[in-house]
Chains A and B, each alone.
Chain A
């Protein structure tokens, strides 16, 4: 099984199959990335498409020194930031995370999910982003540091703070 980096290099050489393979691998993760950060599924899907289209158009900018996941989620972060600016600086996200009823399927609207959304909404933004990249996108500390362009130790310390804060909200406190 080829690694992501091998596939993107093959795609740079013109291999359509390589891109299809990458798309299959990251279609749902990228959609989930946007879906957890945006209010509406349709908009999340549009941005996921834009993310892959941006990858198509800018594939030559990819350099092997960075991991493909960092590159791809870097594009996604950029799109989310642009969306937030367009929607009035995080209004969309805050509305999503404030526990308001959202459209979606039943699994999304379960009680546990709502609690988690609410708890995430109370985190500081950069800490929340780091935590979500770690827990949902399964990025390593190094990849998170590359995506958010911050030092590795900063990622680690903020992730620890975010987890501690979230734990206080979600998990029962033992006496």
Chain B
């Protein structure tokens, strides 16, 4: 089909004209041209002859069985026999399915969503970022430490309602206050004396788990009861976590004689879920300690007498002095142990664990819904940014080598593909 390069119409246009696919004005021009151009007439005749020749590739007619099968399927309900409304519903469902089945539509939907979020969210976030953040801490961890006496004094002054900083009004997310062990009251001579002729020496401990309906009042009352019975607070931990029951754990030292009365008062604070008491007899330890103390004092006295009445070598004198110092150290240690033991006997240890009868509160808690949404948006944009940066880093890291190998492999791969297609 070689044609003169200067010819007005090429062979492809002649073909399209014969197929009825040429644009109307061009087709009219070509028709007029065909009348006078023998070369184009020859080309057209070639196409016509080819089509006629191809029609010699005939096929037989299909059998009648094909009709029966298809029409039987039509009558058996495979066709669209559903009511119009149902069919329309199916069609709508199908349109939705097709819409979401197309990756292009998904890409468009994602792009629109991202654009909408960016359009709406970024100005808000920028405004938020530029605004001062005073008082906008989302979590507030408060740890208060008080000296035992000062703590008591401040609580008594503030009253039960302010007994705990984590009460509902203050609303820190988490608060804890810890009262460090209060130094024992100064030991008077009476306290450190062994309770002679009053029976065995018993160290008493008690533990109560109380579920309080009025938590604020109960937590304040514990310390008042301890003070009223001559005791003191050794350690106090209060926890008030968001959406959890508040808890107070108090280690108290109560005079042994007042223990029963104190426990009776504490039991009134709420429902006692668990109570344990234990007694440990330490008479043997005390007697042994006193005996060793007495012996050490006698040794000390003899050494003093020796140093005062006898004379001898300087080395012997120094040796006696060292022995005296050692004995005095032992005596002081044993006196301390004795004092602690006596204090443990005179003051019972009471562990009170107070928990609130928690009632779930409807609402979003201390963090408002708007703030949570804003935080989620910030996190979402941060993730988006991190993802974009990670993608860019990946592209920069892998891209050059990927393009290099692609260039190396693409050309031979393309030739192989072309060869495969030609063979196929």
Given A53-B78, A56-B79, A167-B46, decide whether A31 and B66 contact each other with a Cβ distance below 8 A.
Answer: yes
Residues of chain A with a CB closer than 8 A to B62's CB: 27-28, 31, 45, 48
Given A31-B62, A90-B424, decide whether A49 and B69 contact each other with a Cβ distance below 8 A.
Answer: yes
B322 at the binding interface (Cβ < 8 Å): no
A59 at the binding interface (Cβ < 8 Å): yes
Q: Which residue of B lies closest to A13 (CB)?
A: B84
A79 to B12, CA, bound (A): 31
B85-106 CB contact bits vs A (8 Å, 1 = yes)? 0010011001000100000000
Q: Which residue of A lies closest to B98 (CB)?
A: A61
B53 at the binding interface (Cβ < 8 Å): yes
B64-84 CB contact bits vs A (8 Å, 1 = yes)? 011101110111001111101
Q: Which residue of B lies closest to A33 (CB)?
A: B59
The segment out of B13-21, B128-136, B196-204 that lies at the interface is B13-21
Number of A-B pairs, beta carbon distance below 8 Å: 135
A136 to B59, CA, bound (A): 11
Residues of chain A with a CB closer than 8 A to B82's CB: 14
User: Which one of B50, B61, B69 lies within 8 Å of A163 (CB-CB)?
Assistant: B50
Q: Number of contact residues on B: which range applies?
A: 35 or more
B84→A107 contact, CB < 8 A: no
A41 to B62, CA, bound (A): 8
Interface of A, secondary structure class, is helix
Interface of B, secondary structure class, is helix
B51 at the binding interface (Cβ < 8 Å): yes
Question: For residues 1 through 25 of chain A, which have their beta carbon under 8 Å from a beta carbon of chain B?
Answer: 11-14, 16, 19-20, 23
B137-150 CB contact bits vs A (8 Å, 1 = yes)? 00000000000000
A27→B67 contact, CB < 8 A: yes
A163 to B75, CA, bound (A): 43
B47 at the binding interface (Cβ < 8 Å): yes
B170 at the binding interface (Cβ < 8 Å): no
Residues of chain B with a CB closer than 8 A to A90's CB: 424
Residues of chain B with a CB closer than 8 A to A115's CB: 56
B84→A16 contact, CB < 8 A: no
Residues of chain A with a CB closer than 8 A to B63's CB: 45
A14→B15 contact, CB < 8 A: no
Q: Number of contact residues on A: which range applies?
A: 35 or more
Question: For residues 95 through 140 of chain A, which have their beta carbon under 8 Å from a beta carbon of chain B?
Answer: 104-105, 107-108, 110, 112-113, 115-117, 120, 124-125, 134-136, 140
Question: For residues 30 through 62 of chain B, which have their beta carbon under 8 Å from a beta carbon of chain A?
Answer: 46-47, 49-51, 53-62
Question: For residues 57 through 98 of chain A, which have their beta carbon under 8 Å from a beta carbon of chain B?
Answer: 57, 59-61, 89-90
Given A135-B51, A160-B12, decide whether A112 and B59 contact each other with a Cβ distance below 8 A.
Answer: no
Residues of chain B with a CB closer than 8 A to A135's CB: 51, 54-55
Q: Which residues of B are interface residues toward A (Cβ below 8 A)?
A: 1, 11-12, 15-16, 19-21, 46-47, 49-51, 53-63, 65-67, 69-71, 73-75, 78-82, 84, 87, 90-91, 94, 98, 421-422, 424
Q: Which residues of A are interface residues toward B (Cβ below 8 A)?
A: 11-14, 16, 19-20, 23, 27-28, 31-32, 35-36, 41, 45, 48-49, 52-53, 56-57, 59-61, 89-90, 104-105, 107-108, 110, 112-113, 115-117, 120, 124-125, 134-136, 140-141, 156-157, 159-160, 163-164, 166-167, 170-171
5 contacts between A and B (CB under 8 A): A11-B79, A89-B424, A107-B58, A156-B21, A167-B1
- The 8 A-B residue pairs whose C-beta atoms are closest, nearest first, are A112-B56, A31-B62, A35-B59, A116-B57, A105-B60, A52-B70, A160-B12, A113-B57
